[in-house]
Structure 1
Amino acid sequence: MTTPHPTPYRPAAEPPPGTPGSARPPRWLPRALVMAVVAVFLGIFVWNAMGALEGLFVNVLIAVFIALALEPPTVWLVRQGWRRGLAAATTLLGSLVVVIVLIVLFGNLFVQQLVALAQSVPRLYAGLQTFVAERFDIVVPSSDNLLRQAIDEFGDDVASGALLVGTTLVGGLLATLTILLVSYYLLAAGPRFRVAVCGWLTPARQQEVLHLWEVTQGKVSDYIGSRVLLAAVSTVVTFVFLAILQTPYAVPLAVFVGVVSQFVPTIGAYLGGALPTMVALTAQGWPQAVAVLAFVIAYQQFENLYLAPKVSARALEMNAAVSLLVVLAFGAVFGVLGAFLALPVAATIQAVATTYFQRHELIESHMLHDPESVRGD
């Protein structure tokens, strides 16, 4: 009789890594941790890079809108037989020359009137001091004491302020050169740039991109046209008022008000009205200066509430209330640049929405129409 051999003891197999009962982590965990650390550092790098390149992005955005605005005159010159590069340089440099001429003409006048106003400040302050002392029996500090106190408080900041101004001027010059170069390259490339973009897209996508490109270019051109129209109206109305008031330099002052009030967002209206007010104050007196200031405020209210929304809505096909809210919202979020580019950007977004979203027929409802007029016999 054979005795059976005992079965040898075999330890239970260890579960696979990462499964319940296993002491070892999953095989993918080290790789996932490494990828997570790399993603965090990459995110931090991209965030810092975006912050450092914010100014460059803004300059490129300005250059794109300048190129879109100058595309129609560039195309017109090309149709006349000009080469694309020469036409782009002519339109860009021509626009730059116009801006420089305006700055030289009105900058000199502005400085002269500012110096005259500064020289008249002590006399005006003395008159105000006498008026307050006689009417209200209040002693106002003399101008010498105020000047001495201002020097004691802010004299230490003069050097740092001068350094800041110098740095700002250098940065502004570099930003201007960047904008001009990018604008020229975009204008000179023209169709070749669109060909390079569309070469990466399918034919259907190419059609959409070219349509949106054309819509955006039309919106920007319409926006510039509306600004020019509003500047012309403001110039004429301001000239008529200054001529009636017999304020000196009526023609250049009117042009200055029209240009600055339309092409400098948010504060342009008040900055444009400051120069004729100072001229009237230094050349005529307080009553004329107050009259000019009241006219500037009244006309800006009329323009903001009635004229500008009508013109902007007609040029950009946008509701008047929506156009006003868009300017305020973009200005609050993105500052001066956002306020200036708010309407063309919003109109482009609206055009994109109408391209990709389908509109439906309206039902019959009394809520969609004004009631008919009912008059008694």
Structure 2
Amino acid sequence: MTEKPDQELVADDQDSVGHDIAEEDPAVDNKTTVMGDDARGITSLSWRFIVIVAALAVAGFLLYFVWVGLLPVILAILLSSVLAPVTSKLRSWKFPPALASISTLLGLLLIIVGVFTAMGPVVSRQGSQLWTQAEEGIDKLLAMSEDLPFNIDAEQIDKLVQDATSFLQGQMSSIASGVISGASAASSVLVTVAVMFIISFFILKDGDRFLPWVRKYSGSTIGWHVTELFTRVWKTLAGFIQAQAAVAFVDAFFIGLGLWALGVPLAFVLAVITFFAGFIPIIGAVTAGVLAVVIALVSNGLVNALLVLALILIVQQVEGNVLQPVLQSKAMGLHAAIVLLSVTVGSALAGIIGAFLAVPVAATIATVLRYHAEMVSLRAREIGPEDIDIRTGEAGDNPEESPRARVRKLYEAMSS
């Protein structure tokens, strides 16, 4: 019996890989070096990613505890970014800074109070009519249920109503506690609004001293970077609020006009609600539209509700596809998908306030990232100082020593 030769563990290399290894220095292995560099790079990126996630988690944890005090500041910055041009105009008319700031805020309060005062009689007069119409609609539905081919007994419906009433009576303590918590929430809102207006007053009065103070303590290089970056963020926030206000006003005007023409009750009130809801992108417009359709259905019937739905869809399509992209692209330069994602995440984290602040926060982050990208390209000499749109304004009588000229000199020094 003949013995079989031992089977080789390694067959002949068909591709002749490694046949020239004897001709190279055995101490040099290029592929091993490259793979080692790749592994080290991946490890470095992984650790950086973990550190960034941990830092964001710590920041979110701390934000939870300071949110009550931070929210009025954020709202005041947004409000001041819109009102600042009015205050500047008053100061150019020789108004003292404090008087100009107070006059601007009082003018805003008078407008808001005037709008809600005008809404009061309308809600009082047409609200009772709407409630009566809703009761009549429910009675009609109950009467129609008797003529349906299904076996729906009116006594069973009455029993359901009685059970619901008994349940509500049994939950009076819970309802009372809910009213108390609602009152507490309302008082918290009032405090937040009051603090917001106080902070807005100081921002409008002394806000122009903030950047010089930063440059005094941070040094020239960091100070002028902060000046340009904060100027861009400030103008981005102002552009966002102004764009949202324009879009919301167009929505409110045409929808309110259409509701009035269709004879829908509370048309003026619904127009005001549409305006304020327009400051919450996507979600606000949908909510206001649903409310208008429901009121039209209860008051005027199915055909009128369908006409209201068609009106809202037409207005929102024109606004969403024509007006809003033009205004928001100039103000923020954010894609619609980023806006939708931001609103979704913001509403999930902080409700209505989160949905409202989501887009300004996203726009601020985008502004910071764009500025960093420009500075990287400038240092890499891919662009020059003349290619950067400097947003810092020119103040003072000497153009050569103006803030804009200082920022340009900083960019020239970085690119040299």
Any conservation in 2 of the 1:253–1:275 contact (CA below 8 Å)? no
Cα deviation for residue 301 of structure 1 reads: 5.7
**What amino acid does structure 2 have at the position aligned with 1:217?**
W
**Which of 111, 127, 137 is the aligned partner of 2:151?**
137
User: Which residue number in structure 1 is paired with residue 136 of structure 2?
Assistant: 123
Q: 2:202 aligns to what SS in structure 1?
A: helix
The structure-2 alpha-carbon separation of the partners of 1:183 and 1:263, relative to structure 1 and needing over 3 Å to count, comes to: same
Give the CA deviation at 1:58.
1.5
Deviation at 1:348, TM superposition (A): 2.6
Aligned residues with identical type, % of pairs? 25
Q: Which amino acid aligns with 2:151?
A: D
Distance 1:345 1:339 in 2: 10
Contact 2:76-2:197 within 8 A present in 1 as well:
yes
Q: Distance in 2 between matches of 1:266 and 1:114?
A: 27
Q: Deviations over 1:204-235 (max 9, x none)?
A: 11111111121112111111221122123213
Question: Is 1:216 the counterpart of 2:233 in the alignment?
Answer: yes
Q: 1:90 to 1:56 in 2, by over 3 A?
A: same
Q: Look up the SS of the partner of 1:170 in the other structure.
A: helix
> For the residues of structure 2 that align with 1:74 and 1:286, how far apart are their CA atoms?
49
State the distance in 1 between where 2:264 and 2:164 align. 31
Superposition pairs of residues 62-77 of structure 1, within 5 angstroms? 62-77=75-90
Q: 1:267 to 1:97 in 2, by over 3 A?
A: farther
Change in Cα spacing, 1:244 to 1:191, as seen in structure 2 (3 Å) is closer
Q: What's the TM-score once normalised by structure 1's chain length?
A: 0.72
Cα 1:201–1:327 change in 2 (3 A) is same
Among 173, 178, 187, the alignment partner of 2:190 is 173
Which residue does 2:249 correspond to in 1? Answer: 232
Q: Mark the CA change 1:185 to 1:150 in structure 2 (over 3 Å): closer, same or farther.
A: same
Q: Which residue of 2 aligns with 1:90?
A: 103
Between Structure 1 and Structure 2, how many residues are aligned?
Answer: 316
Corresponding residue of 1:328: 344
Measured in 2, the distance between the counterparts of 1:264 and 1:77 equals 30
Aligned equivalent of 2:370: 354
2:216 to 181, 199, 210: 199
Query: Is 1:164 paired with 2:177?
Result: no
Question: Are the structure 2 counterparts of residues 166 and 219 from structure 1 closer, same or farther at C-alpha, using a change threshold of 3 Å?
Answer: same
Could you tell me whether the CA contact under 8 Å between 1:117 and 1:278 is conserved in 2? Answer: no
How much has 1:128 moved relative to structure 2? Answer: 0.9
Q: Deviations over 1:161-217 (max 9, x none)?
A: 221122122222211111111111121112223333332111111111111121112
Q: Distance in 2 between matches of 1:47 and 1:324?
A: 21
Residue 67 of structure 2: aligned partner:
54
Paired with 1:146 and 1:301, the residues of 2 have a C-alpha distance of 44
Matched, 1:284 2:297: no
**Paired AA for residue 84 in structure 1:** P
Aligned to 1:23: none
- Give the CA deviation at 1:91: 1.4
Instruction: State TM-score, norm by structure 2.
Output: 0.66
The CA distance in 2 between the partners of 1:48 and 1:323, in whole Å, is: 24
* Change in CA separation of 1:151 and 1:186 when aligned onto 2, cut-off 3 Å: same
Structure 2: gaps of 5 or more residues: 1-58, 383-416
Report the 3-state secondary structure (helix = DSSP H, G, I; strand = E; otherwise coil) of the residue aligned with 2:152.
Answer: coil
Letter in 1 for 2:279: F
